[in-house]
Structure 1
């Protein structure tokens, strides 16, 4: 049976399960929709059980398919680890991994995940690169990053993608701002404010909420997150952060919950990388994210 089932097909099955749709899964995996459907049908025939049931809104795993997919995730994770050891030859050999981010304002849970990864894998030296659109590179020696952790929903090229956590947006205002006394601020209340963003964050903001509301006047600064929030504390505007970063707000500013129509504003995060990247540290990081942070 193993010789008749391709590893790519098993990966496609997991993508279909994550997306809940053959159409979205085919776009994400870079394969024709009908070809993907045939692969899954052939896989179901090969293992002798139906993995997905089709319905009007997409697809979902059957009870037998759920068990199969859970086991498949564990098997592929173990395979990733085995291949990584085969590449390095020595488990404790020091490796390097570059991680790009274009998240909004501060790091949200991304930085926590990277710190935790570093503690779990001290033999991997991580370098962080922040920029507008850090692209995953094809192989060792490239100038781009190995993997990008981003809140942008727009995938670049044919990068593989892993859906991660959701962050909730909060708003930072000066402590003497008229809205500072409100524990919850509605988006409509900041319409006349000046929104301070770092370079590239206007794109991310429009990607996140631009279709639902009108954006305030935006002023872009080429500065660090810390300096930007100090500008807020001095009354030069407001800023958005992930609510998990509320403790990073400097003196003179306060963090408040932000809502649209009474509902939190959630931002989906993704990890994106290229399958032809030869860095042996990459599958270790992806397996770590999939095991602990995949949605």
Structure 2
């Protein structure tokens, strides 16, 4: 009996039988302790025909994989694999078990996908909050990419000093925050994302503008212009004990802030990936503290009791493509 590789679609008529199979499997006290990963490893072993090749493919120690399969066989009360000099192969009982298991896992995957995406034709809404500085660089790229991948989700971007994820649909706050703040919101789930390197923007006529790299200490006598809500992020970026220059907060867009810089009213920080957005009259230079780049971490935070299906899709998207 040939066994199709994991991921092949089972006939639709098998779906109910597959779910019953899972139910029957979990009735056994021993089977209740079987982890989903172990079941997936069994399929990999069948496909590779070798514990060694399967362990390399699955990224698990060879002996640990062998032990997991042995425990699975004990819980099932039957041999799933023949062991021989050339590797392993499924027993007749193992073939039946693995064939049904493959269908079960595919049905489970399909069910989870439906839960994440909801009804494809239904236009969904997702509000994403930011503390200002972070809604640029890779954060903005991620939002744009998400919108292109999920045209059925309408995304609203909201900037604020301390945007908070709302509790559920119909709340007054945002669904998820993408923030540079290390201050976690009580009760919120958190996903650590990427690190962005910061650069400094100065007027083209500034005495330091000719330097390709500027040390933080050289900004001590400067006026640092920030947007609303960004000042408290600086300590996270530069670290405790580092002297901050004079800070002036403006309730304006990033574009206006950089125009102020270009006219000699101060300096500003941006993600180095946004250097092309610097207007005429200003230049972007690398920033260092003790010779090391200045980096700021980004996080996604959301409340677990938010029932918005678009939020689930967005978090899965971030975890798959951007999670640290």
* Interval containing the TM-score (normalised by the shorter chain): 0.7 to 0.9
Match of 2:126 among 68, 91, 97: 97
Tell whether the 8 Å contact from 1:106 to 1:241 is kept in structure 2 after alignment.
no
Residue 8 (structure 1) aligns with: none
Q: Note the alpha carbon deviations across 1:141-186, whole angstroms, 9 max, x for none.
A: 0010000001101111111011101100000000000000000000
Query: 1-side partners of 2:209 and 2:282: how far apart?
Result: 9
1:179 equivalenced with 2:208 (yes/no): yes
**1:84 positional shift:** 2.8
**Residue aligned with 1:115, SS:** helix
Match of 1:83 among 115, 127, 138: 115
Query: 2-side partners of 1:280 and 1:64: how far apart?
Result: 37
- Structure 2 matches for 1:57-136, cutoff 5 A? 63-64=60-61, 80-85=112-117, 88=118, 90-104=119-133, 107-136=136-165
Query: 2-side partners of 1:225 and 1:78: how far apart?
Result: 42
**Greater relative CO, 1 or 2 (CA 8 Å, sep 6+):** 1
Q: Would you say how many aligned residue pairs link Structure 1 and Structure 2?
A: 237
Tell whether the 8 Å contact from 1:80 to 1:284 is kept in structure 2 after alignment.
no
Residue 214 (structure 1) aligns with: 243
Residue 223 (structure 1) aligns with: 252
> In the superposition, relative to structure 1, how do residues 77 and 260 fare at CA in structure 2: closer, same or farther (>3 Å)?
farther
Query: 2-side partners of 1:227 and 1:254: how far apart?
Result: 15
- Structure 2 matches for 1:1-295, cutoff 5 A? 63-64=60-61, 80-85=112-117, 88=118, 90-104=119-133, 107-295=136-324
Query: 2-side partners of 1:289 and 1:126: how far apart?
Result: 15
Tell whether the 8 Å contact from 1:171 to 1:241 is kept in structure 2 after alignment.
yes
**1:63 positional shift:** 3.8
Residue 21 (structure 2) aligns with: none
TM-score by length of 1: 0.73
Query: 2-side partners of 1:152 and 1:246: how far apart?
Result: 22
Query: 1-side partners of 2:107 and 2:264: how far apart?
Result: 54
Query: 2-side partners of 1:245 and 1:75: how far apart?
Result: 43
Query: 2-side partners of 1:76 and 1:215: how far apart?
Result: 53
**1:81 positional shift:** 2.5
**Residue aligned with 2:300, SS:** strand
> Which consecutive unaligned segments of at least 5 residues does structure 2 have?
1-24, 40-58, 69-105
Q: Is the radius of gyration larger for structure 1 or structure 2?
A: 2
Tell whether the 8 Å contact from 1:106 to 1:225 is kept in structure 2 after alignment.
no
